[in-house]
Structure 1
């Protein structure tokens, strides 16, 4: 099967503002020293160079306020600035861009916020008819009453990214053990989400916007932890990597899940749907949707794209061009109403 991706016809006419925590700051376009997050400096710099390699005119900044100054100066904002020390940081850049009617990467602010809230997104998935694990949210200071489902339990940050805060003891057999992990998260100022643990493997499904979208494949992030859970150190170091996986008959219901998500939340430039999948029973459980997910050469998106013959650069160019095309037509409808 031959499938074509979008390609820029004249990339030099597109001015892009690239934003990321370790993005080079104009005018010194050099890779920054590594920070506390292993590998992110190199990753952010390499994506900057890849956008330049496509032929786009790319300015770059690690400062979120650069988005406020972008209006009239750029044609598109490619932002990976998803984590900042504020509440709901994932919508900061997209909201600024919406105000300026400036096309940007990802999805509208309301969809971004929904995806980052692992509890509200769980409720949304359930309403769309997707299979989800039982779960309960615990705000800081809330009573730690046991949930209405039995263990084993899996405890995580309700708003965590890249498995932030997940350690081997996030998996607990008893409520007493789970409550202790909730208290630890609360002590760090984090809200907690407690879920019914689902046996099996993590499987992620990368999707790109297309006509209307394309499921690239099924990828299993590797884990050497008890319960095959993905801990924060595995996500940051990624020494075990990913592998393509055949999910057999489960591919059809996964495709139906993606169709339901797209009808309810789309269009989205690119995203992953993360599952727990039990190869013994075929049971699948949707964990979360990840918008603007990792675009590294060894990541799930690039790995799944390779089976179609797509390079990381091919996918990156397509995502930018798709994103520009989907946003160019509806800006004029907005007007002040008060």
Structure 2
């Protein structure tokens, strides 16, 4: 069956984009930035900037969040991957500014972004929708470290972490005593922790594009050489093992398709996102772990790999995401009135 066509701009030169990312080029030096302790993000951010320009869009670029404050009236769309800043829930800053300015912005409305970025609240929302989720409990700094009402083994992570930030092999603990110790390390760093019941199996991610109404690109398994096949921060940032397209069987794939439908009907439309699962090939059990909006668009990532299998290159996916997002938000604020 032929893959459905993606959107492509009829006159890209008429669309002014402000591109924001941690390593986005800053005027007047439009080259790859030095990276420091991170791995691959500088080149990744620069290649996305180049790709948007090569499509034909008029692209201004900045690594500074305050550029969004000055964007009103100067650009038509904000393509922001500026998700890591030294403040709580940094993913919400740029979308909120753009909402105030009535300026179309990549991703989803701020309330949906907030739900997706909170791995505990999203778990509660998914459970309310009838989706299979791993039991979990959030622990705020200073809270009593009493055991959760589910047995181990346990998996401990940052409640708001991106790219598995803070996840190491020590995140997987057989006992509550060990899990509590890891929770304490997050609290010492001033972070809220999320403790989940560990789900055996492998990670499976399901990339989805907003379409008509949406398009599931495929099912991708990130490789892991860690205990429990977990994905640690170093695996996410280095991407040294890569990903595999996999088949989950007709039953599991149909169940995941129904999961996507439920998420979309409640939280959509969204420009693009991933649903991340733990799936046990031995039993067929699946557990939805989290949802990622404005996730990685690298060629070797889940979206790039699954898109390529359907005949889409990254340039086509980028153009589609921008055009879909613009169409999604066209006239969205016409009914709003300024409140002084």
**TM tier relative to shorter chain:** over 0.9
Q: Unaligned 5+ residue runs, structure 1? A: none
Aligned to 2:87: 86
Aligned to 2:119: 118
Aligned to 1:150: 151
Deviation of residue 88 (structure 1)?
Answer: 1.7
SS of 1:332's equivalent in the other structure is: coil
Aligned residue-pair number: 338
Aligned to 2:301: 299
Deviations 1:280-304 (A, max 9, x none): 1110000000000000011000100
Deviation of residue 29 (structure 1)?
Answer: 1.1
Aligned to 2:278: 276
User: Which of 248, 251, 268 is 2:253 aligned to?
Assistant: 251
TM-score norm. by structure 2 comes to: 0.98
Q: Which shifted more, 26-35 or 210-219? A: 26-35
Aligned to 1:315: 317
SS of 1:281's equivalent in the other structure is: coil
Aligned to 2:202: 201
Deviations 1:19-54 (A, max 9, x none): 000000022211111132211000000000000111
Aligned to 2:51: 50
| Aligned ranges 1:163-242 → 2 under 5 Å | 163-242=164-243
- Cα pair 1:35 1:41 within 8 Å, conserved: no
Counterparts of 1:119 and 1:98, CA distance in 2: 25
- Cα pair 1:24 1:60 within 8 Å, conserved: yes
Counterparts of 2:43 and 2:118, CA distance in 1: 28
Counterparts of 1:282 and 1:186, CA distance in 2: 35
Counterparts of 1:276 and 1:194, CA distance in 2: 15
Counterparts of 1:333 and 1:280, CA distance in 2: 52
Counterparts of 2:163 and 2:146, CA distance in 1: 28
SS of 1:145's equivalent in the other structure is: coil
Aligned to 1:10: 11
Aligned to 1:262: 264
Counterparts of 1:336 and 1:328, CA distance in 2: 18
Aligned to 1:159: 160
Deviation of residue 337 (structure 1)?
Answer: 5.7
SS of 2:205's equivalent in the other structure is: strand
Aligned to 1:34: 35
Deviation of residue 278 (structure 1)?
Answer: 0.5
Deviations 1:165-209 (A, max 9, x none): 000010000000000000011111110000000000000000000
Counterparts of 1:319 and 1:300, CA distance in 2: 15
Counterparts of 1:337 and 1:27, CA distance in 2: 37
Q: Which stretches of structure 1, 4 residues or longer, exceed 4 Å deviation after superposition?
A: none
Counterparts of 2:92 and 2:253, CA distance in 1: 32
Q: Unaligned 5+ residue runs, structure 2? A: none
Counterparts of 1:76 and 1:243, CA distance in 2: 33
Counterparts of 1:134 and 1:331, CA distance in 2: 38
What's the RMSD between the two structures over aligned residues?
0.8
Deviations 1:57-110 (A, max 9, x none): 000000000000000000000000111111121110001101111101000001
TM-score norm. by structure 1 comes to: 0.99
SS of 2:70's equivalent in the other structure is: coil
Counterparts of 2:322 and 2:222, CA distance in 1: 26
Counterparts of 1:95 and 1:27, CA distance in 2: 28
SS of 1:331's equivalent in the other structure is: coil
Deviation of residue 15 (structure 1)?
Answer: 0.4
